[in-house]
Structure 1
Amino acid sequence: MSNENSKPILGINEAPTPGKFFILSLQHLFAMFGATILVPILVGISPGVALISSGLGTLAFLLITKGQVPAYLGSSFAFIIPLQTAFASDGPGGAMMGALMAGIVYGIVALIIKATGHKWLVKILPPVVVGPVIIVIGLSLASTAVSMAMNNPVTEKYSLLHFSVALVTLAIVIISTIFFKGFLNLIPVLIGIIGGYIYAAIVGIVDFTKVIDAKVFVMPDFIIPFVDYTPTFSWGMFMLMVPIAVVTLSEHIGHQMVLSKVVHKDLIKQPGLHRSIMGDGVATIIASLLGGPPNTTYGENIGVLAITRIYSIYVIGGAAVFAIIFGFVGKITALIGSIPTPVMGGISILLFGIIASSGLRMLVDSKVDLGINRNLIISSVILVIGIGGAFIQVTKTVQIPAMALAAIVGVLLNIILPGGEVPEDVDIYEAHIENDDSVA
């Protein structure tokens, strides 16, 4: 790449002209939109709340990182199954308290990193641990995606009509991903949702009633502590949600490294990994206090930065403000809510598969040799525990679920088994993050 082609069009602290500000910010909003609203739809949270918490979390992140890290934060896929389980067992209040605890863990890790440096965290979360855990996340969600795609959500039975909607949606996303270029290539999920929605409307499975009846501006369905529930600590929620932070922390490190390459500045050192992790944690805490899903930095938006060479935090901040405004627009949230289940099922088939495939790609790109018994044992145990659904019932109300147990066992095996030392000058994440914009 030539110096001319790598030179930023707008630097991190440069503001665009008023005429370009709107479209550049909207571009980032579209890049994160499809994935960010998919998580709350799957979990049963208001998409409007997710958009608002995403925008507020991003603004908090920019503030905590002193305006030096142009990253957008959106809904985290890693927490889908824990949130679904938490909603089913403890209701919205329990789920939000679990998310709050995960955010607090981020803050604690950030403070430890500030005091001790970040290399210890990278060493206990090498690709041989994180790769299989990410595979577990994707494959654990596979049955959910297929059920959403194949079944009539009313009767919960197989429907060829609904399955056709999912397949058409999936086909549109695949075509958009493979054949579209430029900006359209950045938003295949959004294009797929729109195309699938149109087809679903043609075959008659879209209910426009709520969209027609919705007011222009509404108050989203926030889930506020001491108003909608009484916060209580639960070891069950702690063991369900907090271990997932192992995975999201590793993804955060990867995103910060690739973002450093994109903007030609070592963001790990300045403003520091502790600040970006703290920003991520605060964003998750804000989301939990509003009733939104945990937040994480988005690879899709890093891809936008890389292609446009516009690194301005003002553009990122503008996208965050637009997300907050959209969350209060009743017509938009009602339109999102009217998206048929099989449309999201078709999207999920690809996205959840991409999550699993990205874990596999991490193993391949990081040159993890599965011919070495140590690596083979760690990855095999993580995969079977996680996908097989193993869990530990600590008490009648406290359970360590499969995904969390797989992550914990993987970290312990990596620490205990000999032969896992990493040379000080080797960046074990460098390979897999080179162009990683597939997983949020």
Structure 2
Amino acid sequence: MPQSILKADTEAEKNCYVRSYLRRPDAAFWLDLLAPPPKPTETDFTRRRRMTRYSLGAALGLSAFYVGLSLVFNLKDSQSLIWLNGISVACYALGMWAASLQAQHIARLWLMVTLNTQVILVTWLMADAINSSVFCFVSAALALVIFDAHEKKYRALFTVIPIVGLVIASLELNPAYIGIHSLPQGLLLFARVTNLVIGLLCILLLVGVFNREVLKAETGLVEERARSDRLLHAVLPQKIANELRQSDRMIANRHPEVTVLFADIAGFTPWSSAQEPEVVVSLLEKIFSRFDARLSHLGAEKIKTIGDAYMVVSGAPDPRADHAHVIANLALALLEEIQLVRQETGISLDMRIGVHTGSVIAGVIGAVRFSYDIWGDTVNTASRMESHGQAGRIQISQQTKERIEDAFVLEPRGIIDVKGKGEMETWWLLASK
């Protein structure tokens, strides 16, 4: 290969490599930053309430610590500093009391006013000789933590005030009113380093605790989302539940070929009329739980239960070619389960099952309580197959018979008169081959 071509390829690769770093600004990113913030949730309010209480407690403890230091070292002319920190301790205690009374707005304002006043006055009294101005950064960070994005005035106010405090500290407009120069240089150095370390730790603590609260809230949201998903999947097919969660559009589909099963527990109504409600519900729970397990294993979709009736479809919402075979196997499995229940309980129960194959319309209805349902002549015919059937037997239509006769043992029933349909030729499903 000529050297010129190799060189051109190398240059092209290099240019492509460089362009990967020189991307255009992400407009969506900046537009998202400039967009109005979302409304705070109850979880967000709870998080900020906690941060307010934590901050009040920390400020009270630090102020009490500085009062103790002033008393121990007996600084010259330090009475004003002791009084300032002592009053701050009392103010923080009042803020905690307000927070305990659920007066959160007052507690937050009380905290920020006290903290900024204390920091600026200490900086002014000591000419920032011990780096007390570092707490201006803490105050500004705290304002962003305890006030949400919609409280812009408070955020701006309590961010500007610490900036003023930093300006006062940097200009050194006044000498220290506290007799600090008589103190050993080692003690002053210790005080400076201590304030820097404590200030940095306060900022890190604010960030850490806030991140912890955010993570806790997000974990709660994830758990709540998982719980709501489980509930949604319990009443809707998974595919439909996912569509409903991702879009607000109406869910309505036509399925050209599905197989529908209707099953009714024969003998249940006379028995239940003489039983206590708890006994009736307990038996239905036992029966339908077994049915649901078989249904889930075979991959069919339960539409609903109405009293002691059971309605199932295969081929919707997920189309499948073997829908008729799935329903045929399910029908045989339901007969097995009801026989086991009869043996275990001694109650004379049996199943009357009807099956039909055809097209349906499927969709979700209900604005508050969602329900996935199917409609059409196929549903009505399947219901008629059940109601015109016999206890302990599975009646299927001509359409279903044509799709499963290669894999199942069938017995002709003959022509019957079906309400609303006229004469229909039907078969009994006996077993699989």
| TMscore range, shorter length | under 0.3
Larger RCO (CA within 8 A; separation ≥ 6): 1
Which has the larger strand fraction? 2
Q: TM-score, normalised by structure 1?
A: 0.21
Which has the larger helix fraction? 1
Q: TM-score, normalised by structure 2?
A: 0.21
Structure 1 or 2, whichever has the larger Rg, is 2
